[in-house]
Structure 1
Amino acid sequence: MELKSIQPAKSLTDFVESIWMLRNDSPEEKAIIVLPDGRFDIIFSAAAGEDFHATLRGLDTHPEQGVIPGNMTMFAVSFKLLAVEYLLDIKMASVLNEGQRLTDGFWNIGPADLADFESFCAKISETMSGLIKPDIDNRKKELFDLIYTSQGTLTVQELSDRVAWSRRQINRYFNEQFGISLKAYCNIFRFKASLQQIKEGRLFPELNYTDQNHFIKEVKRFSGVVPKELAKNQNGRFILLSELSQQ
């Protein structure tokens, strides 16, 4: 398989985490495990014998087994949470752990756009830049910035105090927009942040986990395996670990 990931243009960094491609040139399907990563995706894909289509993928809260069909190409955008309200204007709660087919011609992307990744990136970046809404709520921007820069290690109370937004209001916003609480999201993001150290063989807590048992429990909760097995990534089945080497 070929995997490539690039960072977005500066004007999109508050909304887009990365633009990426995944291509399976083998006629054989590839078994993978999708890990929660704190982002949602719009994926454009086509495989031999299948129609081109676009899919919206919501946040994941648990590991999920899947397959990449043979001779499949996927070009995708992974979004930060601020994009839900200020770029797409949708609520993601209804697609938690789910995917949803998008209308044909979504964002004017078609099968021909899967021929060249650089051209795709340029085209979709221009489209997204034109969709950004003005007058972003500074509390929300600051809240997400704190979550990302702290790698999910700050408590809900600490986040609430820093952005002067009550815990109750924040959790109502998270549940209505994303389908999970702020604490649940921070736990997912902290797990994702731990993947780099696990990939490098550092199998101990580094991000404010209570102790080693808590670290192991959380890793197993979100990956289905203990840190030692996750680090091995046999047959490259944990696709998110493979992606880390591309960034």
Structure 2
Amino acid sequence: MKEEKLHIHTIQSYLVMETEKFYQKIMADFGISHFYSFHTDSEKKVPFLEDSCSNILFEYSGNNMNSFVIGNSGKLQTLTLKRNCEYFGIRFQPGANPFFENQEVKDLVGQRIDLCNFDILTNLSEKMSEQNTFTNRMCTFMEEYRNWLKTTQSGQKHLFFQMVDLIVKKDGLLKISELIDYTGYSSRYINLLFETFLGCSAKQFCKNVKMHTIINELNRTDIDSFPNFSSKFDFYDQSHFVHSFKEFTGVSPKEYVNQVRKSSYKTKIVDF
């Protein structure tokens, strides 16, 4: 049986809620988490959750296209979507940033930078502006992207990605002491790697993975009991769960579930 590739659930649920259809193609390879696309009818500000991933977002409006890099937010933020625009995005896996060799992922945290500021991506922007379907945009991006993929990586980065895979496999339910036991490295060195390659601590990354695992469960499953549900994710009690969830998403678990149901969330996602 073929082993399933690890995939961190970072779908940005609020984007799904604000559109009629949300198209996605799970990649989980080559440093890419997934491709996604959606359309907006009106201008709106949408919550954008911390997910430890960088994004490139192409914004199509008539014959015009804007494009920008969105670094890992570092906290709950908002993303302004324009009226009558079609969006095509690439979400990279945590720590992946092959385009910007001279700029660390940690330097992109909290940043939104126009792609036109990067001369090396001029050719990519021109080609992407000519594409008008999800498949063509995805294929065009990959053609250019392959030119930047590296075949080798440092020993430190290899260790970092091994720890990322382990945390994702455990749904974020991993204590730093366990990570020390698994790797044989000190907490100081582990955090140094995460700060260097991701811009956050290992503990914060574990929290991000856990919260997105929870959100993914709430998106696709009817929850009968929040106390039983929260206990699966190692929260001390119900109040601890509610506080952590609200801090991460801006709403309580109950409010979030109501939004999922009201928006008919499950019917909106189209997988390629």
TM-score normalized by the length of structure 1: 0.83
What SS does the aligned partner of 1:83 have? coil
- What SS class does the counterpart of residue 175 from structure 1 fall into? helix
Q: In structure 1, how many angstroms separate the alpha carbons of the residues matched to 2:188 and 2:244?
A: 25
Classify the secondary structure of the residue corresponding to 2:130: helix
Paired AA for residue 145 in structure 2:
M
CA contact (8 A) 1:96 1:179 kept: yes
* Alpha carbons 1:93, 1:179 under 8 Å: kept: yes
State, as a whole percentage, how many aligned pairs show the same letter: 19
Match of 1:16 in 2: 32
**CA distance, structure 1, for counterparts of residue 253 and residue 149 of structure 2:** 39
Query: Are positions 1:38 and 2:58 aligned together?
Result: no
Deviation digits for residues 81-127 of structure 1 (CA, Å, limit 9, x no counterpart): 2423x5643312233223111226253543212x1110111121233
**How much does 1:59 deviate?**
1.1
What is the TM-score of this pair, normalised by structure 2? Answer: 0.76
Out of 37-46 and 188-197, give the one that drifted further.
37-46
1-structure distance, mates of 2:244, 2:162 = 26
Shift of 1:67: 3.3
Residue matched to 2:214: 194
Q: C-alpha distance in 1, partners of 2:58/2:136?
A: 14
1:180 maps to a residue whose letter is C
Q: Which residue of 1 aligns with 2:91?
A: 78
How far apart are residue 209 of structure 1 and its match? 2.4
Q: Partners in 2 of 1:80 and 1:231 — Cα distance?
A: 26
2:9 paired residue number:
none
Alignment pair present for 1:153 and 2:173: yes
Q: 2:139 matched to 1:122? A: yes
Paired letter, 2:136: S
Question: Once the 2 structures are TM-superposed, how far is the Cα of residue 34 of structure 1 from its aligned partner?
Answer: 1.5
Aligned partners of 1:196 and 1:244 also within 8 Å: no
Q: Look up the SS of the partner of 1:159 in the other structure.
A: helix
Query: CA distance change for structure 1 residues 119 and 55 in 2, over 3 Å: closer, same or farther?
Result: same
Match of 1:39, SS state, is coil
Number of residue-to-residue matches in the alignment: 236
**Alignment-derived partner of residue 3 in structure 2:** none
Query: Which residue identity does 1:110 align to in structure 2?
Result: M
In the alignment, the residues of structure 2 paired with residue 150 and residue 169 of structure 1 have an alpha-carbon distance, to the nearest angstrom, of 21
Match of 2:11 in 1: none
Q: Distance in 1 between matches of 2:191 and 2:270?
A: 34
Q: CA RMSD in A?
A: 2.7
- Which residue is equivalent to 1:64? 77
Distance (Å, rounded) in 2 between the aligned partners of 1:243 and 1:99: 30
The question of whether the paired residues in 2 share the 8 Å contact of 1:88 and 1:131 is answered with no
Contact 1:153-1:190 within 8 A present in 2 as well: yes
Aligned counterparts of 1:80 and 1:139: Cα–Cα separation in 2:
15
SS at match of 1:73: strand
Distance in 1, Cα, partners of 2:167 & 2:53: 13
| AA at the equivalent of 2:66 | H
1:176 is matched with: 196
Which residue number corresponds to residue 66 of structure 2? 53
Q: Give me the whole-angstrom Cα distance separating, in 2, the residues matched to 1:106 and 1:212.
A: 51
Any conservation in 1 of the 2:34–2:91 contact (CA below 8 Å)?
A: yes
* 1:142/1:163 contact within 8 Å kept: no
How far apart are 1:244 and its partner, in Å? 8.8
Q: Distance in 1 between matches of 2:266 and 2:151?
A: 36
Give, in angstroms, the shift of residue 146 of structure 1: 0.4
Work out the CA distance in 2 between the residues paired with 1:210 and 1:22: 38
Distance 1:246 1:66 in 2: 22
The change in CA–CA distance for 1:34 and 1:186 in structure 2 (over 3 A counts) is same
